[in-house]
Structure 1
Amino acid sequence: MSGNAYQDDRGNKDRSITKAGGPGSAEGAMRKGKAVPAPGGPFLIGENMTGGYGKGPNILEACTIAVDKGEIAVIVGPNGAGKSTAMKAVFGMLDLREGSVRLDGEDITALSPQARVVKGMGFVPQTSNIFTSLTVEENLEMGAFIRRDDFSETMEQILDLFPILREKRRQAAGELSGGQRQQVAVGRALMTKPKVLMLDEPTAGVSPIVMDELFDRIIEVARTGIPILMVEQNARQALEIADKGYVLVQGMNAYSGTGKDLLADPEVRKSFLGG
């Protein structure tokens, strides 16, 4: 494969990638209440997820989150709404009392997070997501721990996607800025050649300029066909690039639809986007 797989010509060139009827269009008209998955079954779905941590109370109540190939699905909502918990439930870090998780048609509900990585799930947590004492290059190499093939081509693609990492590849990751660390974390997840990429608040604590740059790179990855499921605190900006959007409140689906529809809905704007 020639060139950079993360910088091809596929996908909508518009930054919003929410063009109605275009590739990766979402669920159609926005739905209030319980989310309904698309007909035929999405590539990744956590369906009717109810559960909490250990023996504690339920944090999620019949929550459904889904994303298909080439799509960006964004989970937004107020603090304490269960956004990151929903992401962790899909990744197997939460005990589900009801519901299921399916990846490419396979029920993976009973699998551990480690087994889900082998199945093709790449997960980038919000914090503690790099090895600070290792170099940038060593961090990326750590991402290829499950591979037995030559990963040098993937390494080059990631360094092309994040040019600053090529410049700083010999530098300790702990010396990087917050935005650069996030690029390392995303790059390490991409080193596994994941079937789906999950990002928990990738722009937390970074400047608006860096946030825009990260979102641009996320769009490029989605254009290659990799589904991206993302929790984001910058709701308005995230919905601008989203094919699907899920607004959670108290662990339940409050609104769902295309990013464009959610941005246009007056109730969503008033309650969650500052008017």
Structure 2
Amino acid sequence: MSFLIGQNMTGGYGKGPDILHDCTIEVDKGEIAVIVGPNGAGKSTAMKAVFGMLNVHSGTVFLDGEDITHLTPQARVQKGMGFVPQTHNIFTSMSVEENLEMGAFIRKDDISETMEQVYELFPILKEKRNQHAGELSGGQRQQVAVGRALMTKPKLLMLDEPTAGVSPIVMDELFDRIIEVSRTGLPILMVEQNAKQALEIADKGYVLVQGANAYSGSGKELLADPEVRKSFLGG
């Protein structure tokens, strides 16, 4: 059994129509799993379903063998889920270091070692630790958001469009950092618009269309699939 399994998830927001249809997403320790697909395909919705932010009418979510389908997002954080939303993911009026400290709000132990690990991973954050996070560039803000999630010492890291709005150079740098994090054994589930680049670093890839699994396989398999290339990767 994979560390995280969102199995046969069907659901939507409130009393609205179902957006996900029998969708399954998995990621294991040390893996990067990437969800890609066209706009409106339900990519972020699938991630939110795993995190408990919408009504899953059928299907189950397992984390480390435990059924967490009916837990609140807050309870899932306590169980070890770290979630970085696409927008509004930092406190702009706080310093970089205060943002990181906020990430550790559920911890009762000494956070200094984790803080040093985050600074090691993102050296620019150490340099700017006393600066207001709102003054940072888009790429640096994303590093703060990821760093803050890592401060919880999560067992699973979920990233919703981590490279949205950043330059190609910054995107490559963020992907390099994400690979480094996964090498520590932490499973990473990521929704990404830059499908080709994301699949290049993915152990598992899921192509969603209209809220359902259209294709799945390793990143390499999906990149090599002529149908996937033609329909989703611009040939």
TM-score range for the pair, normalised by the shorter chain length = over 0.9
1:140: how far off? Answer: 0.1
| Counterpart residue number, 1:175 | 135
Deviation at 1:251, TM superposition (A): 0.2
- Alignment partner of 1:209: what SS? helix
Letter of the 2:164 partner, please give it.
A
1:3-82 equivalent positions in 2, closer than 5 A: 41-82=1-42
Shift of 1:222: 0.2
Question: What secondary structure is seen at the aligned counterpart in 2 of 1:194?
Answer: coil
Q: Which letter does structure 2 place at the counterpart of 1:71? A: E
Deviation at 1:73, TM superposition (A): 0.1
The within-5 A match list for 1:120-269 is 120-269=80-229
Shift of 1:206: 0.2
State the secondary structure of the residue aligned to 1:73. Answer: strand
Spell out, residue by residue over 1:241-273, the C-alpha distance to the aligned partner (whole angstroms, 9 max, x if none).
000000000000000000000000000000000
User: TM-score with structure 2 length normalisation?
Assistant: 1.00
Deviation (angstroms), 1:173: 0.1
Q: Deviations over 1:156-185 (max 9, x none)?
A: 010010000000000000000000000000
1:94 to 54, 60, 63: 54
Aligned length: 235
Gaps in structure 2 of 5+ consecutive residues:
none
Q: Secondary structure at the match of 1:99?
A: strand
Cα distance in structure 2, aligned partners of 1:161 and 1:244: 24
How many angstroms apart in 2 are the aligned matches of 1:156 and 1:42?
30
Letter in 1 for 2:29: K
User: How far 1:106 sits from its partner (Å)?
Assistant: 0.2
Cα offset, 1:54, TM superposition: 0.5
Percent pairwise identity: 86
Question: Match of 1:18?
Answer: none
Matched residue SS, 2:165: coil
- What's the CA shift for 1:213? 0.3
**1:69: how far off?**
0.2
- Aligned with 2:76 (options 116, 120, 135): 116
Deviation, 1:232, is 0.2
CA distance in structure 2 between the partners assigned to 1:125 and 1:144 by the alignment: 17
What amino acid is the match of 2:168? P
Aligned to 1:131, the other structure's residue is in SS state: coil
Question: What is the distance in 1 between the residues matched to 2:90 and 2:170?
Answer: 18
More helix by share: 2
Higher RCO by CA contacts (8 Å cutoff, separation 6 or greater): 1
Q: Which runs of 5+ in 1 are unaligned?
A: 1-40
**Which AA in structure 2 matches 1:169?**
R
